[in-house]
Amino acid sequence: MSGTLPTIVLIHGACHTPANYQTFVDSLKATGFSSERAEAGKRILMVMHSYGGMVGRDALTDELFRSTRASTGRSGGVIHLLYLSAYILQPGTTVIDIAKASGFFPFWPQFVSNIDNGSCFPIDPTAMFLGDAKFSDVEAALPHLVRSPLSAFIALSEGECWKTLPVTYVRTSNNGSVPPRYQEIMIERAEEEGVVILKMDYNTCYNSRENNSL
């Protein structure tokens, strides 16, 4: 089965580190997925979580698309974008722009602490990131959270690969870092530009056992 499955590139969100995705990664490997470079000739499924949507989208160029590689006789490449409640923004847009459009920006100081060195961190990281995760999962995850540069949230988006590649968006109702209203605004804006988005609904994206079906 592993020969028919695409290779997954997983891009994590702000304040997270790879350790917090290990359960999710292990479940993918158990299903037959692998992790290699696009240059290895594999079909790539880009999985982006939260702020990882900004990073993944701006990192992808046409040269990495499977269709582009095929046109020059090369195999492999990115075939699909999976947004796990991730930021899907038009070029020139920032995360803060979405917060303002939702009306939530005035409440930023109630949820995020801006630190003098230019970084930031949630006042209550459990509520913001871990939703209804089990206590044991919360205890395991908290030590692996780190501060994020505040500049990341005012950085202008550049890429727009989501206009070319197939897109699936996982909407989550219990999400403190990318609230449902943020998700609605981003999806609406993308669809207004003619992008067809396959939408899936879950309670949370946290990589606990009940969400391994993602």
CB-CB contact of 51 with 95 (8 Å)? yes
- Where does the pLDDT of residue 206 fall: very low under 50, low under 70, confident under 90, or very high at 90 and above? low
Contact 54, 155 (CB under 8 A): yes
pLDDT of residue 27: 86
- 77 is a domain residue: yes
Q: Is 70 exceeded by the pLDDT of residue 8?
A: yes
The string of pLDDT tens digits covering residues 141-161 is 999 999 999 999 999 999 899
Is the predicted pLDDT of residue 94 greater than 50, yes or no? yes
At residue 208, the pLDDT reads 40
Residue 117 counted as domain residue: yes
| Residue 32 confidence (pLDDT) | 87
CA–CA distance, 24 with 82 (Å, rounded to integer): 14
Q: Residue 1: which pLDDT band, with cuts at 50, 70 and 90?
A: very low
CA distance 99 to 185: 10
pLDDT band at 185 (very low <50, low <70, confident <90, very high): very high
In a domain, 2, yes or no: no
Q: Which alpha helices (H) appear in 116-168, and where do they start and end?
A: 125, 135-141
Q: For the domain that residue 139 is a member of, what is the CATH number?
A: 3.40.50.1820
pLDDT (tens digit per residue) in 33-77: 876 665 678 899 999 999 999 999 889 999 999 999 999 999 999
Q: Is residue 1 part of a domain?
A: no
User: What is the gyration radius of the CA atoms in the chain, in angstroms?
Assistant: 17
The count of domains in the chain is 1
pTM, entire model = 0.91
Q: Specify if 129 maps to a domain.
A: yes
In a domain, 12, yes or no: yes
CA distance 182 to 203: 15
Domain of residue 186: give its range.
7-211
CA proximity to 42, closest of 76, 78, 8: 76
Instruction: Extract the tokens encoding 40.
Output: 């290895």
